[in-house]
Structure 1
Amino acid sequence: MCIMAMAWAAHPRWRLILIGNRDEYHARPAAPLARWTDHPGLIAGRDLQSGGTWVGVSDHRRAAIVTNLRGYGPPDPQRASRGTLMTDLLAGQGGYADVQQAQYADFNPFNLILIDRDRADFLTNRPDPMRIALTPGLYGLSNGTLDAPWPKTLALKAALLGWLTQGADDPADLFEALAQRTLPNAGMPPATPSDAPDEAAASPIFIRNPIYGTRCSTIIAIAQDGAGLIMERRFGPQGEVTGESHEPFRWPDA
């Protein structure tokens, strides 16, 4: 993912609301949001080049989202895929499933938020591996530090806050916030350029570009009773909608 906003344990109805956009080369193949047959209980889209995912949930009461971290140069193809880290965390098995033992230096620079039962953590591996427990609240994340006041991050957080305070009824309404293609006149633009050469130095929430742009928008909504829904809306090179998937799930004993 390249931008997300999250409300964690901050609303009487919703335990978790997480929204975000995945920006990627349109030529990179991906499978739509679905339940994975090789990892029972895992629900996510799938990167068909490396085999992992960028955001997802599992019936094991885990949810996770990853972004790359700019300012460290292009990714090293010899390092492990960040999607593998995501898959192991969501499935609760594999070499990187244990957040206390995982070797984060194996990966290219990343930011990751993991919800594991009643705990939320922010994980990163640059400049040094770090794990920070998140208290209940509203968070925003793009390709910089957590809650960096980039214009698009501030705008998405504001949109999520507005939804939460004005009814918080239908999570699908948040697709509109993820579709914004203009930047607000607020915040501080990134101090370092993007590692993706075709991405604008200052980009809106939704990037319309035939080479590198927003590929999909994802919404995760989990109520206080554990009833959950993950939704994905997919886009083509011209920003046109190409498909949409909704997958319900339930977290037991939430």
Structure 2
Amino acid sequence: MCLIALAIDQDRRFPLVIATNRDEFHARPAARLGWWTPDGGGPAILGGRDMSAGGTWLGMTTQGRLGLLTNVREPKARSDPRAPSRGRIVPEWLAGREPPDRFWMRTALSGHNGFNLVAADFRLGECFWASNRAPYPRRLERGLYGLSNALLDTPWPKVQALKSALAAAIRSAPSVDGLSLLLFAALASRERPPDEALPSTGVPLDAERMLAPAFIRSDDGAYGTRCSTLVIAERVQRSIVTHVLERSFSPNGAALLRRATLKNWPPRYQLDPEVDDDSPTLQEPVRDSELDQSAALQPRKRLRVRSLLKPARPRG
């Protein structure tokens, strides 16, 4: 994953919305969105999968955990070719039972090259961002966040643009498909900022230019955006239904859409961790699909709801 915008409790109908792009070499094999079991066992994971190292850039479980990963872009001199695969971090988080802050402490010392991790456990009502290039993790509250190949909310042009597009889409979209159309359009943007607005990450200027748009395609077609993924939680009556949509791309840009639905996900956080009074998450099959192009014409509805996240403890 190389670009993420995340909205938590910014809309009553859509309490959780995530828009992401994954950039990678097209020659590196990967499986499309689906359910799979990680190496070593554990809960089934919904997400794409890197078939080279067995990890993933985005995954979620019916137990209420979610993980998102990006690399930190750094000069080659700081990169260790013998380091363990960063893509294995997400399955480890999803399969474990540690709270996010403890998981970060262990993972940050495990010798990986630079990474960002967004780790949520909705049964605990918690969501954290963590990086092994930052001194400590950060608890995410209600808000709008952006992440690419630097630290959280670093104001790269494409991060700022996607955050703005996400905020506008949530305000105006009347339906899941209408919201998806707007977000996929934002993720497909090839707008390139002027050189003076580009970040300086230690790679050559030509590489900074190539990596600057939301949607990337190298001149030789070998590297680029492999897939765009949306996670959209929608309140439906008294429950939440989460829609996961993945648009995967071939080297020439041809797109295929796949989607899955999770009912009663994310689960409500439990005030008493020993009492589970929530409805079980229902695992629906993944299917190939198309979006309803007329969805933007449907009316919006207002709802009264509670937050996905548990209130932070008072300081002091």
TM above 0.5, yes or no, is yes
* Pairing 1:235–2:249 present: yes
2:120 pairs, out of 110, 115, 118, with 115
Q: How does 1:61-72 map to 2 (within 5 A)?
A: 61-72=64-75
Q: Deviations over 1:106-127 (max 9, x none)?
A: 211001111211211110001x
2:200 corresponds to which residue?
191
* Pairing 1:204–2:213 present: yes
**For residues 97 and 149 of structure 1, what CA distance do their matches in structure 2 show?**
25
CA RMSD of aligned residues (A): 2.6
Q: How does 1:85-104 map to 2 (within 5 A)?
A: 85-92=89-96, 99=103, 102-104=106-108
- Judged with a 3 Å threshold, the aligned counterparts in structure 2 of structure 1 residues 212 and 199 are, in CA distance, closer, same or farther, namely farther
Q: How does 1:4-23 map to 2 (within 5 A)?
A: 4-23=4-23
Count of residues in correspondence between the two structures: 250
* Pairing 1:144–2:150 present: yes
**For residues 143 and 252 of structure 1, what CA distance do their matches in structure 2 show?**
27
2:162 corresponds to which residue?
156
- Judged with a 3 Å threshold, the aligned counterparts in structure 2 of structure 1 residues 144 and 183 are, in CA distance, closer, same or farther, namely same
Offset of residue 239 of structure 1:
1.9
Residue aligned with 2:168, SS: helix
1:172 corresponds to which residue?
180
1:159 maps to amino acid: A
Q: Quick check: 2:217–2:225 contact (8 Å CA) kept in 1? A: yes
> TM-score scaled by structure 1?
0.88
> TM-score scaled by structure 2?
0.72
Residue aligned with 2:106, SS: coil
**For residues 49 and 129 of structure 1, what CA distance do their matches in structure 2 show?**
30
Q: Quick check: 1:13–1:223 contact (8 Å CA) kept in 2? A: yes
1:35 corresponds to which residue?
35
Q: Deviations over 1:21-46 (max 9, x none)?
A: 00101110001110014544310100
Offset of residue 201 of structure 1:
5.5
Q: Quick check: 1:89–1:97 contact (8 Å CA) kept in 2? A: no
In structure 2, stretches of 5+ residues that fail to align are 269-316
Residue aligned with 1:6, SS: strand
Q: Deviations over 1:168-203 (max 9, x none)?
A: 5224211111111113569942122449x9663552
Give the structure with the larger helix fraction. 2
Residue aligned with 1:139, SS: strand
Give the structure with the larger strand fraction. 1
**For residues 252 and 134 of structure 1, what CA distance do their matches in structure 2 show?**
16
In structure 1, stretches of 5+ residues that fail to align are none
* Pairing 1:83–2:87 present: yes
1:245 pairs, out of 254, 258, 272, with 258
Structure 1 stretches of 4+ with a deviation exceeding 6 A read none
